[in-house]
Amino acid sequence: MIRMRRKKMWASCFCFAAVFFLMVTLQVITELGNSENKVAVISSLQSGLLEPVERQAFQFKKQEIHSSLKTESDVNHYPILLWWSPLTGETGRLGQCGEDVCFFTVNKTYQHNQMTRAFLFYGTDFGIDSLPLPREDYHDWALFHEESPKNNYKLFHESTITLFNHTATFSRHSHLPLTTQYLESVEILKSLRYMIPLQTKNSLRKRLAPLAYVQSDCNPPSDRDSYVRELMCHIEVDSYGECLHNRDLPQHLRNPTAMDNGNFYKILAQYKFILAFENAICEDYITEKLWRPLKLGVVPVYFGSPSVVEWLPSNKSAILVSSFSHPRELAHYIKRLDTNDREYESYLQWKLKGDISNPRLLTAMKERKWGVKDITQDNYIDAFECMVCNRVWENIRRKEKGWLPRRWSAQVNHLSCPQPETFWFSSSNSGWTSLQEMWIPSFKQSKREAWALRHLVERNRNFTAQEFWTLVFKE
């Protein structure tokens, strides 16, 4: 009986949701209609600058905004933003960005099209092969790169990053900062859904270590495994990942895709502390490694961005490895908190009170124009495309008025990381070796590559891989 009623309730909920959805859809269609009219007006204003065409041709019809427009004549009326990367896979789409419309494509045949105004690069596949050269002075270069330097070191040097006009990176200084890219929402951060009461955690301590570590990308540039290895000599750590592995996850959670699994969260939530160690040390490079323990109500022991304090939910919400001179000291401190409930809980006050007091974090979350795992919002790639589209249009309008164009350029702080370093207390273990033999040389090499790339791009004509490598090794 109760079951039946519940079913009915679900059915009526569903009905309500469907009606609501219909209403929203209708609203959206109406809105689209409105903005299309605006597009038509604005575009015709610009016809003096963009290819002269008849006014008629600008009146694009409602259904066309949904389908991609492919005919030459349609494309010719809008600035083309050409992805120099297969990232989006879009062969051609008219995209609406506020009042502006741009044509987005990955089709490189548009390189020499006179409507092409910007090249969009994805950092991970940014290489020296066939760059869009020569670069006209109306060719903006824009870089989307959300990744750690581990991924493509040569972008992380002044000589390469400053080649770009527009950037979207993890740095707060970027034109579209992605610093909070791993945080879904303030609500999720505050949520008590997974949090386990301290009494329970204390009794779980009989079979669990105070600290958990879950990492399967071993010996990265941050040399985190050397630190954790030393830490393990002073305090017990349950390590579930491949690196320094000493405890098994249940079979069904043993693959990387299970990292966002609720059952995995439940295991981690039992711990008092989680080691949140980034794979590289750069300002503002903050990943789910920090946010996950905060979401679960576990205290993160953080190693990574030196500026992390400026992003934490409150002044007392994480333990920073950088405040301790040696892993031994850190171990002492954790042991102290482990036996002192009041001190331990002071790190969870923000969570228990639902009080995020960091205005920088709140503002960043409120003002970002993209969502994370949220289909109701644009994602950060859409936001990046639109930022460039709006800027391109801004200059089209300025030119039309006879004004000088506005200039944008990336600064060194849009994407940079210092050279990786080994920990002073570690020597000739595997972490030290991988830094000495791999990460530090590859950082130095990438700096030479960055320099050579800049040199060749500035000549502004095609260059071959051979020319590039000759220059790299000449230095």
Ligand X SMILES: *[C@@H]1O[C@H](CO)[C@@H](O)[C@H](O)[C@H]1NC(C)=O
Q: Note the residues at the interface with ligand X (CB under 6 A).
A: 91, 107, 109, 130, 134, 137, 140, 165, 314-315, 357, 395, 405, 407-409, 462
Amino acid at 119: F
Which C-beta is closer to ligand X: that of 127 or that of 371? 127
Beta carbon of residue 105, minimum distance to ligand X (angstroms, whole number): 8
CB of 166 or CB of 224, closer to ligand X: 166
User: Which residues face 80 on adjacent strands?
Assistant: 103, 116
- CA 408, CA 132: separation in Å to the nearest integer? 19
The nearer residue to ligand X, 235 or 361, going by C-beta atoms, is 361
Strands annotated E in 254-407 = 273-277, 299-303, 319-320
CB of 275 to ligand X, least distance (A): 24
For residue 419, the minimal CB distance to ligand X (Å) is 26
Q: Is the dihedral of CA 270, 271, 272, 274 positive or negative?
A: negative
Pick the closer one to ligand X by CB: 140 or 238.
140
We find the least distance from the C-beta atom of residue 392 to ligand X, in angstroms, to be 8
- CB-wise, 280 or 456, nearer to ligand X? 456
CA angle 407, 73, 67 (to 5 degrees): 90
CB of 115 to ligand X, least distance (A): 11
Instruction: Tell me the residue ranges of DSSP E strands in 40-126.
Output: 80-83, 93-97, 100-105, 116-122
| Strand (E) or helix (H) holding 468 | helix 465-474
Q: How far is the CB of 361 from ligand X (least distance, A)?
A: 10
Instruction: In angstroms, give the least distance from the CB of 468 to ligand X.
Output: 13
Residue with tokens 């990438």: 446
C-beta of 194 vs 408, nearer to ligand X: 408
Which CB atom, from 311 or from 423, has the smaller least distance to ligand X? 311
CB of 358 to ligand X, least distance (A): 6
Residues 6+ apart with CB under 8 A from 384: 120, 142, 144, 168, 176
Give the nearer residue to ligand X in terms of CB position, either 349 or 436. 349
Amino acid at 467: E
Q: Are 303 and 321 in contact (CB under 8 A)?
A: yes
Nearer to ligand X (CB atom), residue 66 or residue 407 = 407
Q: Which segments of 147-254 does DSSP mark as H helices, in order?
A: 158-161, 186-190, 198-204, 224-231
Evaluate the omega torsion of the peptide bond into residue 134 and state whether it is cis, within 30 degrees of 0.
yes
**How many CA atoms lie less than 13 Å away from 467 in the CB half-sphere?**
13
- CB 445, min distance to ligand X, A: 25
CB 295 within 8 A of CB 350: no
Report in angstroms the alpha-carbon separations of 3 from 12, 15, 17, 274: 14, 18, 21, 41
